[in-house]
């Protein structure tokens, strides 16, 4: 089990990036986090498509095609030899002048991290977690579109710091127009009786790959998800909450702002979605 870094195609134990890289200086980069099943990447095509969209969203030309990424990820996974891996793919604007203008950056840097994967503690799934609705707002779409997964995550860093101070594991943010958006690295779903609600993409959220799969699986099993603009008052009439993300998968939220959600235990709809998602991933390489 080991950590390997693939730096522009060269696999190393550890790597150094220039202090003149605009990814470091200005958060001028895009990235993806990919999970594995049986140490093979899952949803890789969707992640590489989103990486390409994010790059396009910040006018960054990635110097490699999808095949190159697939091959380099495979090589790096093999070199690391983990049971399960955490994969992080980062493309930075590259080295340039100490100047906000990126035109001096001639070549993006591509870094692929492969580390041993650590599962979240089982407690998170059996008991659920505490989330706080924080005062920090999600970036407005018109400023830095949350639909683009950039290396500029300061908005979310500030939000999770506020949540931590409130004793919560994650932060739920509102959009500048006052609608529910997402947590710092996950999308959110609310269960109200038979209804499952989730903020729509136009609220200014990341189009989560897990979110997308959950919407698909839920609707295939007779649980259609309603995407919309939900004001925070919606939270007052909610029976269950769960969040979704590549690493967290489907995680129940049983406490919101220190108050129990429903009966304070993962609810039946949440448990059903957790099971459907787990089953899907268990069989993913047979599909």
Structure tokens that stand for 244 in this block: 């979704």
Q: Work out whether 152 is an interface residue with ligand PLP (CB under 6 A).
A: no
Cβ closer to ligand PLP: 96 or 152? 152
For residue 134, CA distances in Å to 17, 81, 213, 229, 242 come to 34, 40, 27, 18, 17
Cβ closer to ligand PLP: 187 or 270? 187
Which residues of 42-176 form beta strands (DSSP E)? 85-92, 109-116, 129-133, 170-174
Cβ closer to ligand PLP: 156 or 270? 156
CA-based angle 106:149:170, to the nearest 5? 140
Which one of 62, 206, 251, 269 is in contact with ligand PLP (CB under 6 A)?
206
Question: CA 145, 148, 153, 156 torsion: positive or negative?
Answer: positive
Question: CA 58, 62, 67, 73 torsion: positive or negative?
Answer: negative
Query: Of 179, 160, 161, 155, which Cα lies nearest the Cα of 171?
Result: 160
Cβ closer to ligand PLP: 18 or 227? 227
Question: CA 34, 14, 103, 97 torsion: positive or negative?
Answer: positive
Spell out, one character per residue from 239 to 258, where the chain touches ligand PLP: x when CB under 6 A holds, - when not.
-----xxx------------
Q: Work out whether 36 is an interface residue with ligand PLP (CB under 6 A).
A: no
Which one of 96, 208, 252, 266 is in contact with ligand PLP (CB under 6 A)?
208
Which one of 179, 182, 190, 241 is in contact with ligand PLP (CB under 6 A)?
182
**Interface stretch with ligand PLP, choices 109-117, 122-130, 163-171, 184-192 (CB under 6 A):** 184-192
Q: Work out whether 210 is an interface residue with ligand PLP (CB under 6 A).
A: yes
Question: How many H-runs (helices) and E-runs (strands) does the chain carry?
Answer: 7, 15
Cβ closer to ligand PLP: 25 or 188? 188
Cβ closer to ligand PLP: 117 or 265? 117
Q: CA torsion, points 179, 183, 188, 191, in degrees to nearest 10?
A: -80
CA–CA gap between residue 41 and residue 185 (Å, rounded): 19
Minimum CB separation from ligand PLP for residue 245, in Å?
A: 4
CA-based angle 275:267:283, to the nearest 5? 5
**Interface stretch with ligand PLP, choices 10-18, 128-136, 158-166, 180-188 (CB under 6 A):** 180-188
Cβ closer to ligand PLP: 95 or 159? 159
Q: Name the residues that contact ligand PLP, by CB under 6 A.
A: 33, 156, 182, 185-187, 206, 208-211, 244-246
């Amino acid at each position: 089990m080991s950590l390997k870094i693939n730096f522009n195609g060269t696999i190393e134990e550890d790597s150094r990036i220039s202090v003149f890289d605009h990814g470091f200086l200005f958060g001028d980069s895009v990235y993806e986090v990919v999970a594995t099943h049986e140490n093979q990447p899952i949803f890789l095509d969707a992640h590489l498509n989103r990486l390409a969209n994010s790059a396009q969203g910040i006018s960054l030309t990635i110097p490699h095609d999808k095949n190159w990424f697939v091959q380099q990820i495979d090589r790096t996974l093999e070199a690391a030899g983990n049971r399960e891996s955490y994969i992080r793919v980062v493309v930075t604007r590259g080295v340039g002048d100490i100047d906000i203008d990126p035109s001096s950056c001639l070549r993006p840097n591509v870094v692929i991290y492969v580390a041993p994967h650590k599962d979240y503690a089982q407690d998170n799934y059996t008991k659920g977690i505490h989330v706080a609705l924080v005062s920090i707002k999600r970036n407005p779409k018109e400023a830095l579109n949350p639909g683009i997964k950039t290396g500029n995550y300061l908005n979310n860093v500030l939000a999770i710091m506020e949540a931590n101070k409130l004793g919560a594991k994650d932060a739920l943010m509102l959009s500048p127009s006052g609608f529910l958006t997402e947590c710092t690295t996950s999308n959110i779903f609310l269960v109200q009786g038979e209804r499952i609600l989730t903020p729509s993409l136009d609220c200014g959220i990341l189009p989560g790959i897990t979110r997308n799969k959950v919407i698909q699986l839920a609707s295939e099993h007779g649980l259609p998800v309603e995407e919309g603009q939900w004001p925070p008052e919606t939270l007052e009439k909610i029976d269950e909450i769960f969040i979704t993300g590549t690493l967290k998968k489907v995680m129940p939220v049983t406490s919101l702002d220190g108050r129990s959600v429903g009966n304070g235990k993962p609810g039946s709809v949440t448990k059903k979605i957790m099971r459907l998602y787990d089953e899907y991933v268990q069989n993913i390489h047979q599909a």
